[in-house]
Structure 1
Amino acid sequence: MIKRLRQEDYEDIVTLSEYAFQYKLKDEDKEAKRKQFQTQIILGIKERETLAAKLHIIPLEVYMGNARYNMGGIASVSTYPEYRRKGYVRKLLAESLSVMKDNNQTVSMLHPFQVGFYRKFGWELFVNLKKVSVTQEELKPFPSKRGKIKRYNKHDFPDDLYKLYDLYAKDYNGGIYRTKDWWKERSIADLTVGVYFNDSDEAQGYILYTIKDRKMKVEEMISITPDAKKGLWNFICQHDSMISGVDLVLQNNDPLVFMLQNPRVKTEIHPYFMARIVDVEGFLLQHLNNIAEEVHLLLTVRDEVATWNNKTFSVSCDNVKETLVSNQKDITMSIQALAALAFGVYNAKQLNDMGLIKTTREQTEQLTILFPESGPFFSDFF
């Protein structure tokens, strides 16, 4: 039987996580972890009072354009080896969807140990990371621009960071809404912050980075103007006498590599996070508030796990309702394809070309109105 774990289960929760993910919490970190658990829903399965498997649901919000959606972050999915292959994770994931729906978390995200495994439960890959390695010899600055860089550490950084991140994230789909606590506890960690200011002293971009053993690692690079992107790159190049190279983690659509004098640098694309629509009707109702044009379509969703989504929806203007009408005029897609479409991984034409949906020209136009092209963005971990 699945149970919601409580504070008295704390030691068992930590012990299972330590075993499954092969780490050991320091004593001084255990209290911080306990406080995190208080904000989470932790589902577990016990055998004879022994915790056999668990998962955590972290309450978060994500941007879909300018709007914020309640999101359930699935984390720490773990089972002791002796209890595996009993279907415990399947049961926990199915229960987590019911819990998230009851909590009005219309979308969910997770970091997969295996993409194919979580696709079976309705999650779909929605964002890749671009990992770029540039040698010292290739650190060539752009023609100089006015502006300056100010450095900060985690104990002293400006409110401009929040504003810059939010401005950037609102142009995409999927970025976590970062509270100030999130910034302090997760985003900054032990990173140095470099903020670009233009000649009017307006913050327009930043990088989060470390330097160790003559290697610079840029964990996040955000810019809202071309000058900021160039200024941040030039700041990286200014380290050429003290580093052997720089490794950058960029969003998949970031054009920095294209802009370099020598774009032929080592570049790897890594599948990263997966997303899922938990409640199709609730998600579409909120989503329609952000659509300027009228839309009329019948949408049939196939969802084998969250059965409340496994139906045909009539979508029009500001209304979504279940309908028994299903014919050649409806658009049929899996819950995974819907996530790819909603988060802007692929547009309707591309999904049609892959055979993941089948649409007429008119239906493609309607889906494009419902889900305007705006790519995914995600730069966190949980």
Structure 2
Amino acid sequence: MSRRKLQERLKMKNVEPQHGEQFNHLLRYVFQVTNHDLQTFGWEDREIAQAKLPVLKQADVLGWFDEDKLISQLAVYPFQVNIFGRIYDMGGLTGVGTYPEYANMGLMNQLMRQALTNMRGRRQSISYLYPYSIPYYRRKGWEIISDKISFEVKDTQLPKLKTVPGNVERVTIEHPDIQTVYQRFALQNHAAMLRNNLAWEEYLRWDLDDMTGAIYYDADHEPSGFLLYWIAGEIFHIKEMVFLDEEARTGLWNFISAHFSMVTYVKGHTYKDEPMSFLLEDGDIKETIAPYFMARIVDVSQFVEQYPFQAQGEDCKLTFNLHDPMLEWNSGTFTLKVDKEGQGRLADGGGTPSASFDIQTLTTMLMSYKRPSYLQRIRRFHADRESVQLLEKLIANEQPYFSDYF
């Protein structure tokens, strides 16, 4: 059969719960999840299929079908994130894959366009994803917006115990106080996920059965920090450490240091531009930084309406050109008007542009992963000096935090 006739036979439609087994098989093939991997984590095929059923019921899952066979797919999870104190509906893109015999037919490009169109209709004005290929997703309009710093601390470098008024209690990872602390933390941290039930399920899906929780309670027995961790091979592995204040951070490290005789190393990750080395007395530790999540603005007009620009006490205006490789509604000349309270509005046209961006650069800039002056200096966009200075003043300077995975 010719490639053209094959393409004519394919149909795009929603992936429903009855397609769960095919959805699962395609995921396993694309991401090369082996039976050994499943056994390591205590999963069986049936359990994975059952675990993914809520995804098919709650998410927007699109696929290409060759007659009755699912051959290409993606899923968009209904999530929310905190962007400078404003709660945005976010489309979490995941489960992206196509069988190799159907590759290079433009199928995924069409799926993404439809998924982004659906996100726009649901006012999910921003989308996050974990990239298997940064260049590929950059070409589709996504850009890096967060980092993961991995650290390794020797037992001899663990912080000395410090007196705190509270105490730590070991609990199961499903303890409700863990979710309570995380919710408060997410509302305090720019770019963080506000975890609904689906987000928690995805975050904990592949973790080992012996992972444990530890909660720091202050003197009034209010939870203000937690650890998710496991110990294996004399290594204390930290999946996540969350604390609302310095007291809770100290209390949690006291708890980790109390394992001095049991472990040789402590390994973990931080998800903000805050190297662990500066916080330790012996800061000569191993740390590595890697890009983590990417994001893209789905609808720049919707995004700007919610965005909390820094109030300047006067009205501000910027006319710019914007290019989006996939979405025509994000391409053209626009004028951003920000009133003296920091409320932004976007209008089409507006005269001669003083700046020019692509959607990738605008996304990472408005998320404050990289500052306007830096992006302009490395020629990621073109603008006159006054426009760059205005953007520096309008965009809050706070590093994004994102620790989830889906």
Q: Counterparts of 1:247-286 in structure 2 under 5 Å?
A: 247-286=267-306
1:22-57 Cα deviation digits (max 9, x unpaired): 235432342231122100111111234322211111
Please point out which of 369, 378, 381 is paired with 1:357. Answer: 381
Q: Which amino acid aligns with 1:310?
A: S
Please point out which of 348, 362, 381 is paired with 1:323. Answer: 348
- Give me the whole-angstrom Cα distance separating, in 2, the residues matched to 1:217 and 1:286: 38
Kindly state the Cα deviation for residue 200 of structure 1 after the two structures are TM-superposed: 3.8
* Cα contact 2:145–2:369 (8 A) shared by 1: yes
- Give me the whole-angstrom Cα distance separating, in 2, the residues matched to 1:369 and 1:170: 23
Structure 1 residue ranges, 4+ long, deviating more than 4 angstroms after superposition:
187-190
Kindly state the Cα deviation for residue 185 of structure 1 after the two structures are TM-superposed: 6.2
Kindly state the Cα deviation for residue 227 of structure 1 after the two structures are TM-superposed: 2.4
Please point out which of 361, 375, 384 is paired with 1:337. Answer: 361
SS in 1 for 2:382: coil
SS in 2 for 1:234: helix
* Cα contact 2:153–2:266 (8 A) shared by 1: yes
Q: Counterparts of 1:174-193 in structure 2 under 5 Å?
A: 174-179=191-196, 182-183=199-200, 186-187=203-204, 190=209, 191-193=211-213
- Give me the whole-angstrom Cα distance separating, in 1, the residues matched to 2:202 and 2:101: 34
Aligned CA distance change for structure 1 residues 215 and 345 (closer, same or farther; 3 Å): same
2:307 alignment counterpart: 287
Kindly state the Cα deviation for residue 256 of structure 1 after the two structures are TM-superposed: 2.9
Kindly state the Cα deviation for residue 150 of structure 1 after the two structures are TM-superposed: 1.5
Q: Structure 2: which 5+ runs fail to align?
A: 1-10, 36-43
1:227-260 Cα deviation digits (max 9, x unpaired): 2222212211110111121111112323432111
1:209 alignment counterpart: 229
- Give me the whole-angstrom Cα distance separating, in 2, the residues matched to 1:28 and 1:169: 30
Kindly state the Cα deviation for residue 291 of structure 1 after the two structures are TM-superposed: 4.8
SS in 2 for 1:134: strand
> Kindly, what percent of the aligned residue pairs are identical?
28
1:63 alignment counterpart: 82
2:14 alignment counterpart: 4
2:101 alignment counterpart: 82
* Cα contact 2:193–2:404 (8 A) shared by 1: yes
- Give me the whole-angstrom Cα distance separating, in 2, the residues matched to 1:337 and 1:276: 9
1:144-200 Cα deviation digits (max 9, x unpaired): 333321221134x243x3343233333433211112564466349543222223334
SS in 2 for 1:170: helix
1:347 alignment counterpart: 371
* Cα contact 2:14–2:63 (8 A) shared by 1: yes
Kindly state the Cα deviation for residue 286 of structure 1 after the two structures are TM-superposed: 1.3
Range 115-124 or range 216-225, more displaced: 216-225
Aligned CA distance change for structure 1 residues 172 and 185 (closer, same or farther; 3 Å): closer
1:119-151 Cα deviation digits (max 9, x unpaired): 000000111101111122222325433332122
* Cα contact 2:129–2:293 (8 A) shared by 1: yes
Aligned CA distance change for structure 1 residues 292 and 325 (closer, same or farther; 3 Å): closer
SS in 1 for 2:284: coil
- Give me the whole-angstrom Cα distance separating, in 1, the residues matched to 2:274 and 2:227: 14
- Give me the whole-angstrom Cα distance separating, in 2, the residues matched to 1:343 and 1:139: 34
Q: Counterparts of 1:89-128 in structure 2 under 5 Å?
A: 89-128=108-147
- Give me the whole-angstrom Cα distance separating, in 2, the residues matched to 1:66 and 1:142: 34
Kindly state the Cα deviation for residue 17 of structure 1 after the two structures are TM-superposed: 1.2
- Give me the whole-angstrom Cα distance separating, in 1, the residues matched to 2:202 and 2:117: 29
Q: Which amino acid aligns with 1:303?
A: D
Q: Are positions 1:314 and 2:335 aligned together?
A: yes
SS in 2 for 1:377: coil
TM-score, normalised relative to structure 2: 0.86
- Give me the whole-angstrom Cα distance separating, in 1, the residues matched to 2:73 and 2:389: 43
Kindly state the Cα deviation for residue 359 of structure 1 after the two structures are TM-superposed: 3.4
- Give me the whole-angstrom Cα distance separating, in 1, the residues matched to 2:297 and 2:154: 41
Kindly state the Cα deviation for residue 297 of structure 1 after the two structures are TM-superposed: 1.7
Please point out which of 170, 178, 203 is paired with 2:187. Answer: 170
Q: Are positions 1:303 and 2:319 aligned together?
A: no
1:273-319 Cα deviation digits (max 9, x unpaired): 1100000000001115x654443222321112111100222222245
Kindly state the Cα deviation for residue 326 of structure 1 after the two structures are TM-superposed: 4.2
Q: Which amino acid aligns with 1:162?
A: Q
Q: Which amino acid aligns with 2:348?
A: T
SS in 2 for 1:137: helix
Q: Which amino acid aligns with 1:213?
A: G
2:264 alignment counterpart: 244
SS in 1 for 2:357: strand
Q: Are positions 1:373 and 2:393 aligned together?
A: no
Aligned CA distance change for structure 1 residues 363 and 327 (closer, same or farther; 3 Å): same
- Give me the whole-angstrom Cα distance separating, in 2, the residues matched to 1:217 and 1:69: 32
- Give me the whole-angstrom Cα distance separating, in 2, the residues matched to 1:6 and 1:95: 16
Q: Which amino acid aligns with 2:335?
A: S
Q: Which amino acid aligns with 1:370?
A: L
